[in-house]
Chains A and B, each alone.
Chain A
Amino acid sequence: MDGATLPARLRTLNRVSRIVVRDLTKSYGDLPVLEPLDLDIETGTFVSIIGPSGCGKTTLVRVLAGLEPASAGVVTLDGHPPAAARAAKRVAMVPQQPGLLPWRTVEANARLLLDVRKGTNPSDANDPVALLHEVGLGNFLHAHPHELSGGMQQRVALVRALALHAPLLVMDEPFAALDEITRAEMRGLLTRLVDGRGATVLFVTHSIAEAVALSDRVLVMSGRPAGVVADLAIDIPRPRRDDVEDDPRFVALCAEVRHALHSNGGRR
């Protein structure tokens, strides 16, 4: 840790921070993807990451989830390196495509992450069947993925991640492939599912409305190499109702995010 980052470090010293990022950079060969990045995310925060296409949002969350090594800098999750957190099944992912196994039933798909490396399962894992009932798929336990609509498939993917009861939930544009009506439904569902479970959520998205409606905090990223150009607190009280989008505060915050995105987003 060099002198330049010391003040930032002192500032956060007495705060309990689940995700701590210091001087993180990532490049692929000569191509820098993330410029030096410092970040503190507290436990239980819903953080959306928004930015132009291909700016490195996915790379950032992949590094935080321990799926890719950082080129330089330090990332810790609850004091542990990301790879250790991943090995302890403390990171649950929801990919952009549901990624369901076509030969497994809905119930078996929801159980997939629990079936892998069973010995590492947390003792307080959630019951996938109960969760499937909760998301309205109680009648589809024995159906196969091809019998479900896109929104229903993504709900299974959500349950599959939540079943792990991991303290960190990483979602990479999970609703991007869905139609607008289904997206709105999924937004409400996700809010209900995540509220009160205490998990930290990293949510990558292209949609300003989605980011504001769901999050406690929105990180706006610039074009490659990506840095955080705005860090906005979303002070809309929880629990949030489905009509949150009619709230004047919501509209104002969306404008703020849009402004940050457009004034810095095109930077190279």
Chain B
Amino acid sequence: MIRRVLAPAVGIVTVLLLWEAVVRLGEVRPFVLRAPSRIVGHLWDFRGDYTAAAWVTIQHAVVGAAIGLLVALVLGAVMAASTFVEQAAGPVLTLLQVTPFVAYIASVVLWLGSGTAPALFVVALVCVPGFAFATTDGMRGADPDTRELLASVDAHWWEVLWRLRLPSALPSIFTAMRYNVGLALIAAYLVEGGNYANEGLGAIGMRAAAFGGNGADALWAAIFAMSVLGTSWLVAISIARHLLLGWHVSQRGRTPRVRRP
């Protein structure tokens, strides 16, 4: 347990020390790279502003991803049940997945206005394909013998969904969630920077970037804060996964724990 916390900590601290050394010993322009000590100092000086901005960003990202997940669960369940729907929706979802969303953020802001609405919309939209494909695959993979068994007592479709298909899809949904964390945060950051509400880490970071060298402190502080948000979110997901998927092969140790009478 100690090693599991210690090893990543050693890795991060090493990188931060190297980073600090490179900035101090070499002559790096501030906009290119800021020393970690200076970034942390700046974050501390303006902690109220950054905490408020981070709170806005995490809401955009988490609520948006949750909306995307709900939409994808419904869509994925229908796709798992109907090959026709899967074949109809599949290409659209793939298109959504490969289109760079940066390109249409401005249009969404024009359409939905500034503030929370466009952020939630874009975040949800970019999360849907990954979640939907994961849901479909997971539900399709539900044990055929158990499906037959439930059919033998004429289980309602929603009982099969709730008792068998949804739990079967949880492992792949969790895997999709790890990828969607990054996507959701980037989408929230970009939409915040691209509208007039002036809220969130994206608003700070993207405006600072426009100032060049003068904005370097704020830019790097926003980057730092974003990575802290992402890491905390991933840790929360790991914990949830551990609690919910204790039964799954991926969560067990390498040696099988077979108990004998």
Which of chain B's residues have a CB closer than 8 A to the CB of A115?
163
Judged by a CB distance under 8 angstroms, whether A263 is at the interface is no
Hey, what's the 0/1 contact readout for B242-261 against A, CB within 8 Å counting as 1?
Answer: 00000111001000111111
Hey, what's the 0/1 contact readout for B126-149 against A, CB within 8 Å counting as 1?
Answer: 000000000000000001011011
Q: Are B167 and A103 in contact (CB under 8 A)?
A: yes
Q: Count contacts between A and B, CB distance < 8 Å.
A: 78
Q: Are A116 and B155 in contact (CB under 8 A)?
A: yes
Interface residues of B in 146-194 (CB under 8 A from A): 146, 148-156, 159, 163-164, 167
Q: Please judge, given known A-B contacts A67-B148, A95-B149, whether A103 and B154 are in contact too, CB under 8 Å.
A: no
Of B152, B159, B248, the contact of A91 (CB 8 Å cutoff): B152
Q: Are B152 and A93 in contact (CB under 8 A)?
A: yes
A–B pairs, 9, beta carbons within 8 Å: A67-B151, A86-B153, A89-B153, A93-B149, A95-B145, A99-B145, A136-B261, A140-B259, A146-B249
Q: Are A95 and B258 in contact (CB under 8 A)?
A: no
Q: How far is the CA of A261 from the CA of B156 in the complex (A)?
A: 40
Of A100, A101, A112, the contact of B167 (CB 8 Å cutoff): A101
Which of chain B's residues have a CB closer than 8 A to the CB of A101?
143, 146, 163-164, 167
| Interface size, chain A (Cβ < 8 Å) | 35
Q: How far is the CA of A231 from the CA of B248 in the complex (A)?
A: 46
Residues of B within 8 A of A (CB): 143, 145-146, 148-156, 159, 163-164, 167, 247-249, 252, 256-261
Q: How far is the CA of A148 from the CA of B159 in the complex (A)?
A: 26
Closest-CB distance, B237 to chain A (whole angstroms): 18
Q: Are A86 and B143 in contact (CB under 8 A)?
A: no
Q: How far is the CA of A91 from the CA of B153 in the complex (A)?
A: 7
Which of chain B's residues have a CB closer than 8 A to the CB of A92?
152
Judged by a CB distance under 8 angstroms, whether A113 is at the interface is yes
Q: Which residue of A lies closest to B252 (CB)?
A: A146
Hey, what's the 0/1 contact readout for A134-149 against B, CB within 8 Å counting as 1?
Answer: 0010011001101111
Which of chain B's residues have a CB closer than 8 A to the CB of A116?
150, 153, 155-156, 159, 163
Q: How far is the CA of A224 from the CA of B139 in the complex (A)?
A: 34
